[in-house]
Every structure is written in C-alpha cells, then in structure tokens.
Structure 1
Amino acid sequence: MIKKGIFYTSILLTVAFISSGFKPYNSPINFGFRVDENEKLLYVFPSQNSINYFSLDAPFKGRHFIGYKDAIAHKESQGKYKKINTLGYLGKYQFGVETLKSIGIHDSSTFLNNPKLQEKAFITLLSKNKYELRKYIKDFEGKVIDGVKITESGILAAAHLGGTGSVKRFLNSRGAKKCKDEYGTSVRTYLRDFGGFETHAIKAIKNAKVK
C-alpha cells in the first residue's frame, strides 16, 4: 500500500508540475499600435522589456497597406504628425497648403493638430490621385521604365511627392524627364522605393474631398 501511495503521489506531482507550464500569462499590455511622446508610431510587443528585442519599433508589415502608409510617413516626416519642413509642408505625410485645399481642408492649424484628419487626408489624396492617374496605372503597371518596375503603389507615392503632373511627364517620356522635388528626391526614387505595396483597395474618386 505504501509503495502504491508513493507511486500515485509521484504521478500527481509530475502532472501538476507539467500543467503549471501551460498557465496563461496575464499581461497588462494592450497589444497594438501607439504613438510615443515624439509622435512616432510604435508597435506594442508582447514583452514590457525592450531588451528582449533587437531595437524593433514596428511589426513586420510586409507589403500590406499599413506598411505602405508607415513607409511613406517615415520618409516624409519620420512619422511625426506636427512636423513642418523648411518649405512649409505639413504633418506626417507632408502636405502642401494648396494640396490640402484641393481636398477640402482650409485650416492648416487644425490639420496639423489633428492626427485623424491627417490620416483621412492621406487616403483622400490617394483616391483623388488614383482617379487622375487611372489611365497611367492601366497602361504602365507592370512595365519597366528607367530600370524600375512600375506599380500602382509606386505611381501613387510618386504623385504624393511631386503631383500627378510630374508622374505623367516621367512616364510619358519613358523616364527621360528626371522630375525631382525641391530637396532633389526624384519621381523615379518613389516609383522604385514604394512599388509593390497593396493599394488596390483605394477607390479612385474624382475630386475626392475629406468628409
């Protein structure tokens, strides 16, 4: 009897020990995105200790639209909503005042202090530019011009940089016209760096306005 008691006790202790390894960890973290004190978009990882990661501050977004937005924002302003550059371009995606007016935003101060409005403005401008460039997207997507494979996402990013006119000139000239912005960044660079992202869900809307 004593031997049997020891045997069953050992089994119970072993099961209890193994089971303890499968208890859920009640983490107080709310997983997802947040904006830090410098207005930089960060991802909350499953650990509170940053030392557990190798200097990561964003998830692996791949070529999805969220990655597209984040990549453009980083290029334009390091993701800062209140950024104003030396030429007066505003916000996370660096809008010019006239561009804002074209999508129905006339108060640049309100725009600069409203992250949600900036996100809406970005989507709205994409929709507007997609409509204006719909023929170019259809005719040039998949072709290689000046060593760059042309994609819809690249075209829309280049239009955000230099306007639809610059994109049309570059594509119509088959890359001969090297259109650049005031800082020297070329349409070709945006076509290359932002090509291949998922933007097909963006609706092409004539004269799109922020609602």
Structure 2
Amino acid sequence: MRKSIASYSTLTLTICILLYSSFSSDETIDLGKYSTEGLVLNYTVSSDTKIKDDALALNANDKSFSPYLGKSFVGFKEALAFKESGGNYFSVNTFGYLGKYQFGVSTLKMIGINNPGKFLKSPQLQEKAFIANAARNKWILRRDIKNFVGRRINGVVVTESGILAAAHLAGPGSVKKYLRSYGLDNFTDGYGTTVQYYMKRFSGYDTSFIKANREAKAV
C-alpha cells in the first residue's frame, strides 16, 4: 500500500515538473512570419478623413448606422426632427412648413433667414436654425422654465426639453398660456398635435447645451 502511494506521488511530481518547464520557457513567439498579405480586410470605418468632431454638423446624405442617442441633446433634436418630418431636410408639408424641423416662414425671418428656398436646400443652415430658434425660445420662456420645471400638469411632469419641444411646435406664447393656465389652454396644431403631447413625448432630454439668447440668429 505504501509502495503504491509513493509511486503515485512520484508520478504526480514528475508531471508537475514537466508542465512547469513547458510554461516557464524563455522561448518567445516570432511574429515576423505572420502577414495579412492576400487577405481581404473589410472595415466599417469611413475613409473620410475630413469628418469633424461636431455632433451638430450632420450630413443629410449620411445613411450609416447611428448609435442610440438616449436623452442627449442630439437625441432630442433628432427625435423631434423625426416626429416633424421623418428627418427629411427637403420636406415641405401641406401647410408650407419647411425642412427637417418644419419651420414656418415667419419663424425663419425672426432668426435672420429671408430666403426659404435657400434654407430648404441647406442642411447646415437648417441645423443652425434649430439651435437659434431653441435659444430664442429658451430666453422667452426662461421664467416659465424656472417656475414650472418639476411640476406635474395634466399628469405630465414638466421638463425643460418638453417646454422647448412644445415651443417649437406651437410657439413660446402658446406654451406660456398652457403652463400658466395649468393645462387648460392646450394649443392644437393643424394636424391635431397638442402642446401637452409634445410636453410628454419630449420629456427628460438634456437641453443644457442650448443657451438662452434673445437675439439668436441662424446667420
């Protein structure tokens, strides 16, 4: 019995020594013989070296995959654009509202754009118009943002992004009336969309990027 135990212990020790020797070898792997020559390498990264690190400068013809934007500011404006026009820069609705964000001609004039045709053909100008209009609305509604954010009206928690989205839909004056009447004066547009609906649908996005500016212009 003792011989068997001794033999087994010796065999186990021998195996351990051999394994240790194989793993502790100083031999290094020579990678010089490896090559990608002849292989077909497919990359998903664009070859455009002129892409700028600017989340707001979006290419109208870019149909590439976009990551989930969550409640970021870019997520806010893209969600709003999708609701307004399906994200189409060249859209004109039955009431004559223009572009990705569906601007009216009178609103464009207030932010310095007097050529609707040029506006419709320029994605870059449309992005600038959205920022300028939001900044102007934020200034007009600054007191209402301070007084009503966090309150609940008609079962909907008021947020800054909800206020700015509703102002884009109905104008800041209509949003003031909605808030100050505690939801009794609920503007409805030509398609039946209400201030309350936009308040709820676009609630909780981060719109801190927008700085209130009374004189905001797109050009």
Do these two structures clear the TM 0.5 threshold for a shared fold by scoring above it? yes
Contact 1:34 1:43 in 2 (8 A): no
Contact 1:88 1:96 in 2 (8 A): yes
Contact 2:150 2:158 in 1 (8 A): yes
* Distance in 1 (alpha carbons) for counterparts of 2:127 and 2:157: 28
Pairs within 5 Å for 1:32-51: 35-36=60-61, 42-44=63-65
Change (3 A) 1:166 1:81: same
Which letter maps to 1:133?
L
Residue 157 (structure 2) pairs with residue 149 (structure 1) = yes
Which letter maps to 1:197?
Y
How far off its partner does 1:210 sit?
A: 1.6
Contact 2:60 2:89 in 1 (8 A): no
**Residue 29 of structure 1, aligned match among 45, 56, 72:** 45
Partner of 2:133: 125
**Residue 210 of structure 1, aligned match among 202, 214, 218:** 218
How far off its partner does 1:26 sit?
A: 5.8
Which letter maps to 1:30?
S
Q: Number of matched residues?
A: 180
Structure with larger Rg: 2
Residue 131 (structure 2) pairs with residue 115 (structure 1) = no
TM-score (norm 2): 0.75
Which letter maps to 2:180?
N
The higher-RCO structure (CA 8 Å, 6+ apart) is: 2
Residue 109 (structure 2) pairs with residue 93 (structure 1) = no
Contact 1:121 1:210 in 2 (8 A): yes
Residue 187 (structure 2) pairs with residue 179 (structure 1) = yes
Contact 2:111 2:132 in 1 (8 A): yes
Computed over aligned residues only, the root mean square deviation of the Cα atoms, in angstroms, reads 2.6
Partner of 1:167: 175
Residue 70 (structure 2) pairs with residue 62 (structure 1) = yes
Gaps of 5+ in 2: 1-21, 36-40, 52-57
Partner of 1:76: 84
Change (3 A) 1:148 1:42: farther
Contact 2:139 2:213 in 1 (8 A): yes
Which letter maps to 1:106?
N
TM-score (norm 1): 0.77
Gaps of 5+ in 1: 1-6, 45-57
